[in-house]
A and B are shown apart, each in its own frame.
Chain A
Amino acid sequence: MTTNAPTLSVTDLRVGSPFDELLHGISFDIAVGERVGLIGESGSGKSLTATSVMGLLPETLAATGTIRLNGVDADLLTAGERRLNSLRGNTMAMVFQEPMTALNPLMRVGAQVAEIMMVHRTERGRRQARERAVELLAQVKLPNPAEAALAFPHQLSGGQRQRVMLAMAMANDPQLLLCDEPTTALDVTVQAEVLKLIGNLVTDRGTALLLITHDIAVVAEVCQRVLVMYQGNIVEDGPVGRVLTAPQHPYTQKLIAASDLSSVDERGRLHTMSMPVIAKPVTATPGTARPRTTASAPSHVQADAAAALLLPPYPAAHQRLEPDGPPVIFNEVAGVPAISVRDLSRQYRRRGGGLFAPAPIVHGLREVSFDVAEGQRFGIVGESGSGKSTLMRILCALDQPSGGTVDVLGQSIDGASERQLRDFRSQVQIVFQDPMGSLDPRMRVRDIVAEPLRNVGRAEALARVEAQLAAVGLDADVMHRHPHQFSGGQRQRISIARALITRPRVLVADEAVSALDVSVRAQVLNLLADLVDEYQLTLVFVSHDLGVIRHLCDTVAVISDGRIVECGPTASVYDRPLHPYTRQLVSATPSMDELARRVAN
Chain B
Amino acid sequence: MTAINAQIPAATGPNPARRGTKGGGATLWAGLVLIGLVLLAAVVSLWWTPFDPEGVFSDSILLPPGAQHLLGTDSFGRDVFSSILRGAQISLLVGTVAVGIAALLGVPFGIVAGMNPGRLDQFMMRGNDISLAFPALLLAIIFGAIFGAGTVTAMVALGIGTAPAFALIARSGTMQIMSREYVQAARASGKSGLFIGVRHILPNISGMLIVQASVSFGIAVLAEAALSYLGLGTPPPTPSWGRMLQDAQGYLFIEPLLIVWPGIAIAIAVLGFNLLGDGLRDRFDPKMQVNR
Contact = CB atoms under 8 A, between A and B. Distances in A.
B10 A43 contact: no
B3 A60 contact: no
Interface stretch (B84-92, B125-133, B187-195): B187-195
Contacts of A454: 190
Contacts of A517: 2-4
Given A58-B292, A421-B190, A277 B4 contact: yes
Q: Most chain-B CB neighbours within 10 Å: which of A48, A440, A441, A489?
A: A440
Interface string B276-292: 00000000000000111
A60 B20 contact: yes
B291 to A, nearest CB: 8
Given A18-B20, A516-B3, A519-B3, A485 B185 contact: no
The secondary structure that dominates the A interface is loop
Interface string B100-143: 00000000000000000000000000000000000000000000
A439 B2 contact: no
A429 B204 CA distance: 24
Contact of A440 (B182, B187, B189): B182
A429 B189 contact: yes
Interface stretch (A24-32, A64-72, A430-438, A547-555): A430-438
Contacts of B181: 432-434, 437-438
A276 interface: yes
Interface string A43-61: 1100010000000001011
A425 interface: yes
Contacts of A20: 16-17
A429 B5 contact: no
A260 to B, nearest CB: 18
Contacts of A350: none
A488 B3 contact: yes
B9 interface: yes
Contact of B6 (A17, A279, A418, A437): A279
Given A43-B2, A440-B182, A485 B188 contact: no
A398 B182 contact: no
Interface in A407-462: 418, 421-422, 425-426, 428-430, 432-434, 437-443, 448, 451-452, 454
Contacts, number: 127
A221 B4 CA distance: 25
B61 interface: no
B58 interface: no
B184 interface: yes
A500 B171 CA distance: 32
B189 A452 contact: yes
Contacts of B180: 437-438, 440
Given A43-B3, A277-B4, A432-B181, A60 B17 contact: yes
A441 B185 CA distance: 14
Interface in A496-520: 498-499, 502, 516-517, 519-520
Contacts of A183: none
Nearest to A487: B6
Given A434-B181, A440-B182, A429 B7 contact: no
A464 to B, nearest CB: 14
Contact of A487 (B2, B17, B192): B2
A490 interface: yes
**Chain A interface residue bracket vs B:** 35 or more
A391 to B, nearest CB: 15
B11 interface: yes
Contacts of A231: 4
B184 A430 contact: yes
B186 interface: yes
Interface string A460-486: 000000000000000000000100011
Interface string A2-37: 000000000000000111101000000000000000
Interface string B182-223: 101111111110000001100110000000000000000000
Contacts of B190: 418, 421-422, 425-426, 452, 454
A44 B185 contact: no
A43 B15 CA distance: 13
A277 B7 contact: yes
B10 A487 contact: yes
Interface string A220-261: 000000000011000000000000000000000000000000
A384 interface: no
A17 B182 contact: no
A430 B188 contact: yes
B204 A43 contact: no
Interface string A145-173: 00000000000000000000000000000
A396 interface: yes
A451 B6 contact: no
A441 B180 CA distance: 11
Given A20-B17, A490-B10, A429 B3 contact: no
A439 B180 CA distance: 9
Q: Most chain-A CB neighbours within 10 Å: which of B11, B290, B291, B292?
A: B292
Nearest to B202: A442
A276 B7 CA distance: 6
A42 B188 contact: no
Nearest to B15: A19
B187 A437 contact: no
Nearest to A422: B190
Given A442-B204, A490-B10, A516-B3, A396 B290 contact: no
A425 B188 contact: yes
Nearest to A434: B181
A41 interface: yes
B21 interface: yes
B2 A451 contact: no
A43 B5 CA distance: 8
B1 interface: yes
B9 A280 contact: yes
A481 B21 CA distance: 26
Contacts of B189: 425-426, 429, 451-452, 502
Interface of A: 17-20, 22, 41-44, 48, 58, 60-61, 230-231, 276-280, 396-398, 418, 421-422, 425-426, 428-430, 432-434, 437-443, 448, 451-452, 454, 481, 485-490, 495, 498-499, 502, 516-517, 519-520
19 contacts: A19-B17, A22-B292, A43-B1, A60-B292, A276-B7, A280-B10, A428-B188, A430-B188, A432-B185, A437-B180, A437-B182, A443-B200, A452-B185, A452-B189, A481-B11, A486-B6, A487-B3, A488-B3, A516-B3
The 7 A-B pairs with the shortest beta carbon distances in the complex, nearest first, are: A487-B6, A425-B190, A452-B189, A432-B181, A438-B181, A442-B203, A517-B3
Given A58-B291, A425-B188, A443-B200, 20 more contacts: A19-B20, A42-B4, A43-B2, A43-B5, A58-B292, A60-B17, A60-B21, A279-B7, A425-B190, A429-B189, A430-B184, A438-B181, A440-B203, A442-B204, A451-B189, A451-B191, A452-B190, A481-B11, A486-B6, A487-B5
